[in-house]
Amino acid sequence: MGTRIIGTGSCLPKTVVTNDDLAKIMDTSDEWISSRTGIRERHLAKEETTTSMSVEAARRAIENVGVTAQEIDLIIVGTVSADHVTPACACEVQAEIGAYRAVAFDINAACSGFMFALNIANAYLQTGAYRTALIIGAETLSKIMDWSDRSTCVLFGDGAGAAVVRADEREGLLAFDQGTDGVKGRVLACQNRSNNNPLVKTPTELQYVHMDGQEVYRFAVTQVPASLQKTIEAAGLAVGDIDYFALHQANLRILQAVAKRLKVPEDRFPISLDHCGNISAASVPILLDEMNRKGLLKPGMKIALSGFGGGLTWASAVFQW
Ligand code: UT7
């Protein structure tokens, strides 16, 4: 029995903020941001929430494949920026789309969140416990950014992406790899809740994302190609057999470095970061949905996916489309 991605959907907030817009409110420039990262603009949520974007992405994924909400057995949302501590975003999605049969929960694996959710769903589907899963990556990162830290806030955006995943006779997921390096976790951290108990005062500077960009860069350009290589080999394929590499959209220079290490032409690495920025767990499913809607994904193609970031975590998968 295979695990196939059978439908995709995504949702970006209406408001677009360009690099020039940011240069009006902080000491930065389009030249610095675009030359260092490839990012030109990002969507930032005003009235949208992590749940509302998840619901919209889910509806589009369901429509894309023509399943009904009642057929969904499992909903997993990967997010670090859910609207509430509880109920989980996945529970709100379940209620909003009317997927009343589905078991629903969130997971936190930062930028690897969608990939971890996908691999968890695969494990459930392969036991036979469930047949159809809705996997979502969704973030409102703008609310956990330190907008006085120009080295971090210019990189991130808001949005959600979703995929319907189903146990199927045909092959889909061929191999996956996941890993965690908790020892280095503090290089990308966010303590986003202050403690109001009478004994402890949480310092406010811990409440927003803090990142050592160069350490994260070094981690990404070594761990991601190694993970992809391992996964491609486990799938019984060579790097040259992969039609597209749909990677977490953190930085164009990371994608170029991974392409160089794998000796793969850069045009096999589709990008959405130019108009989305880095949307953590939502990056991979939004990119996948854009590829799907552009008609890039043809039956039988081999697609490598990879997420990497906070935790530190990473996860790769090779699919036959
Ligand atoms: O999902 C995973 C998330 N994280 C990542 O993918 C991050 C990976 N890391 C990176 O992509 C890069 O490290 C960054 C893009 C974050 C930063 O690039 P960098 O080449 O490592 O820059 P830097 O931090 O070394 O800063 C270079 C200079 C500094 O000025 P001085 O000290 O040389 O005078 C910064 O103050 O650039 C300055 N700078 C900026 N200037 C204009 C930092 N941010 C900005 C900015 N605009 N937004």
Q: Answer yes or no: 278 catalytic.
A: yes
Position with higher pLDDT, 207 vs 304: 304
166 bridge partner residues: 4, 132
- pLDDT confidence band for 16 (50 / 70 / 90): very high
Measured on CA atoms in the order 17, 271, 318, 186, is the torsion positive or negative? negative
What is the spatial distance between Cα 273 and Cα 176, in angstroms, rounded to a whole number?
24
Name the H helices within the chain.
Answer: 19-25, 30-37, 50-65, 89-97, 113-127, 150-153, 213-234, 252-262, 273-276, 283-293
The predicted pLDDT at position 158 comes to 98
pLDDT, average across residues 76-84: 97
Mutation test residue for ligand 1: of 17, 151, 258, 313, the one with most atoms within 8 Å of CB: 151
Burial of 204 (0-12, 13-18, 19+ CB in 10 A): exposed
- pLDDT confidence band for 191 (50 / 70 / 90): confident
Residue 7: phi and psi, rounded to 5, are -160, 150
| Residue minimizing CA distance to atom 27 of ligand 1 | 151
pLDDT, average across residues 2-26: 97
- The DSSP call for residue 119 is H
- Given the CA of residue 250, which atom of ligand 1 is nearest to it? 6
Mean pLDDT (the chain) is 96
The predicted pLDDT at position 204 comes to 67
Domains observed in the chain:
2-169 (3.40.47.10), 174-320 (3.40.47.10)
| Residue minimizing CA distance to atom 6 of ligand 1 | 250
Q: Answer yes or no: 275 catalytic.
A: no
Out of 43, 64, 248, 251, which one is annotated catalytic? 248
- Given the CA of residue 214, which atom of ligand 1 is nearest to it? 13
The pLDDT tens digits of the residues spanning 130-178 come to 999 999 999 999 999 999 999 999 999 999 999 999 999 999 999 999 9
- What is the 245 CA–ligand 1 centroid distance (Å)? 25
DSSP string computed for 234-272: HTT--GGG-SEEEE--S-HHHHHHHHHHHT--GGGS---
Share of the chain above pLDDT 90, in %: 93
Burial of 105 (0-12, 13-18, 19+ CB in 10 A): middle
Q: Interior CA angle at 82 toward 78 and 86, to 5°?
A: 105
Selection from 183, 180, 172 nearest residue 121 by Cα? 172
Question: Per the structure block, which two tokens stand in for 201?
Answer: 């005062």
How would you list the strands of the sheet with 2-11, edge to edge?
2-11, 158-168, 132-140, 74-78, 103-107
- pLDDT confidence band for 117 (50 / 70 / 90): very high
The response to whether residue 256 sits with its C-beta less than 6 Å from ligand 1 reads: no
Question: Per the structure block, which two tokens stand in for 249?
Answer: 């959209």
What is the spatial distance between Cα 229 and Cα 222, in angstroms, rounded to a whole number?
11
116, pLDDT greater than 70:
yes
Q: Answer yes or no: 89 catalytic.
A: no
Compute CA distances 52 → 117, 222, 281, 284, whole Å. Answer: 19, 36, 16, 19
For residue 68, the tally of other CB atoms under 10 A from its CB is 11
Interhelix angle 283-293/113-127, rounded to 10 degrees, is 80
Mutation test residue for ligand 1: of 31, 34, 36, 116, the one with most atoms within 8 Å of CB: 36
Give every CB contact of residue 141 below 8 A, 6+ residues apart in sequence.
Answer: 80, 81, 156, 157, 158, 209, 278, 279, 280
